[in-house]
Amino acid sequence: MYLCTMTAQEHDKIIDLIKREVVLSIGCTEPMAVSLCVAKACETLGEKPEKIEVALSANIFKNAMGVGIPNSGMTGLPIAIALGVVAGKSEYGLEVLRDVDKEAVERAKALLASTEPIITIADESNGILYIKVVVTAGEKIAEVVISGSHTNFSSVKKDGIEVASNEVVGGAVAEVEEVELSLRKVYDFAEEVELEKIEFIGETAQRNVAAAELSFTGNYGHGLGAMLHSGMAKNIFGDTLFTNILAHTSGACDARMSGAMVPVMSNSGSGNQGISATVPVAIFALANDVPREKMLRALVLSHLTVIYIKQSLGRLSALCGCVVAATGSACGITRLMGGGYEEVSGAVKNMAANLTGMICDGAKPSCSLKVTSGVATAVLSATLAMHNRVTTPLEGIIENNVDNCIRNLTEIGRNGMVETDRLILKIMTSKE
């Protein structure tokens, strides 16, 4: 029998890690990180800029092109940049545009009419997650760089002099000792940690399910969640728990990708990952009257599994983050079904055997389709694992050791799909 040897100190390190990676965000995290960097640059400059230059890593650029910007009714980078100038507050972190209203949108439009920002793609040597904003007014100049994570100001300069570095904002835990995780450690932590130490994870269910409920009341994105929630769609797909899980998960994504002013709890820098790790588990728990403690532990299992996988995959890649996040929810749902570590491992293997290779072609309203595909596979993977149906080492990238399966998945996304990422960006930026 496996005996866990984690100490209370190790538990606390993992809790700090979760608190760093699971944070509130309004809007898609990539354009919000750009707005955040712009807001910080303007605050550092101390006056309205006459010139705005923005250099972005290809993955940031890709994920900021096609999503709605909160409360603006507009899409893409220029309005995200302009709103960062006129209404952004860096102290809000990824909620940087929390104060945007109609008047701010009009001021942003006027700014774009007079001062069009210069947007370029940064050299690959700067890393996958990189934003550099340079703003000038007369002889004054401010330069701010975000790198490594969406809320980390790695460099802040005013008139060529560095005034700050490695400053994390937005309520995230700044100094976190990295923890070497395995699926076994993730599972045992979720089972053993004191309940009062993980009560905070309940906010993910509250916030992200609320975003789903909002989506059913309006016209957001492609309306996939609302459609699945409607009577007509239920005549096709059935009025089942499975349909309800898909409707709520895709609905939350619909609202977020279309620019609804609704905060969601993100995971590892992605709101869609936060939604996919949370909503399926929460809806399954609510439908089955699962005790709160069991739901919270399943949510921790889901979120920490995502964090674990992203440790080796990286925050941004050519591999769709829905695969990673849905793998977390497959673990959480398996646990709620009564599965133990072996069944949870089986669910991970089933996920890796199915969705590996789904490309990320930028953040956009149709992400709700990919989220739904991932979550549908998560439920199927959990159900198969509970019936002792698990993909074997004879199949594709699957190995007996579940952690090796995860490494194979992330190796494909991190290294194997680099050229795929370049081609995706080329296609996206050369469409007629």
pLDDT (tens place) for every residue of the chain, 432 residues total: 445 568 888 899 999 999 999 998 888 899 999 999 999 999 999 999 999 999 999 989 988 888 889 888 898 899 999 999 999 999 999 899 999 999 999 999 999 999 999 999 999 889 889 999 999 999 999 999 999 889 999 999 999 999 877 777 755 545 566 788 999 999 999 999 999 999 999 999 999 999 999 999 989 889 999 999 987 777 888 889 999 999 999 999 999 888 888 889 999 989 999 999 999 999 999 999 999 999 999 999 999 999 999 999 988 888 888 888 999 999 999 999 999 999 999 999 999 999 888 998 888 888 999 999 999 999 999 999 999 999 999 999 999 999 999 999 999 988 898 899 889 888 988 887
Contact partners, residue 152, CB within 8 Å, separation at least 6: 146, 166, 167, 168
CA 379/CA 245 separation, integer angstroms: 9
Q: Where are the alpha helices (DSSP H) in 123-239?
A: 183-192, 202-215, 224-229, 231-237
CATH T-level topology, domain 8-23+179-429: 2-methylcitrate dehydratase PrpD (1.10.4100)
Instruction: Please state, in angstroms and rounded to a whole number, the distance separating the CA atoms of residues 79 and 52.
Output: 13
pLDDT of residue 114: 92
Taking the chain, what is the end-to-end CA distance rounded to the nearest angstrom?
61
Secondary structure class of 155 (helix, strand, coil): strand
The pLDDT score that the predictor gives to residue 236 is 86
Alpha carbon separation from 8 to 17, 21, 276 (Å, rounded)? 14, 20, 29
Q: Are strands 68-69 and 140-147 parallel, antiparallel or unpaired?
A: unpaired
- Note whether 88 and 31 are within 8 A (CB): no
Backbone angles phi, psi at 337, to 5 degrees: -75, -10
Q: Where in the chain is the domain with CATH 1.10.4100?
A: 8-23+179-429
Query: What pTM value is reported for the model?
Result: 0.91
Look up residue 252 and give its amino acid: A
Give the distance from CA 59 to its chain's centroid: 13
Dihedral, CA atoms, 326, 264, 362, 41, nearest 10 degrees? -140
Rg over CA atoms, the chain: 21
Buried b / exposed e along 260-299 (16+ C-beta atoms within 10 A): bbbbbbbbbbbbbbbbbbbbbbbbbbeeeebeeeebbbbb
Specify the 3-state DSSP secondary structure of 366: coil
123 Rama sector, left if φ>0, alpha if ψ -120 to 50, beta otherwise: beta
Alpha helices in 266-366 (DSSP H): 271-287, 292-313, 321-336, 341-355
Residues of the chain with CATH 3.30.1330: 28-168
Long-range contacts of 239-248 (CB under 8 A, 24+ apart): 241/283, 241/284, 241/287, 242/376, 242/379, 244/283, 244/287, 245/279, 245/280, 245/283, 245/284, 245/375, 245/379, 246/372, 246/375, 246/376, 247/212, 247/216, 248/209, 248/212, 248/213, 248/279, 248/280, 248/283
Fold for the domain defined by 28-168: 60s Ribosomal Protein L30; Chain: A; (3.30.1330)
H or E element, residue 142: strand 140-147
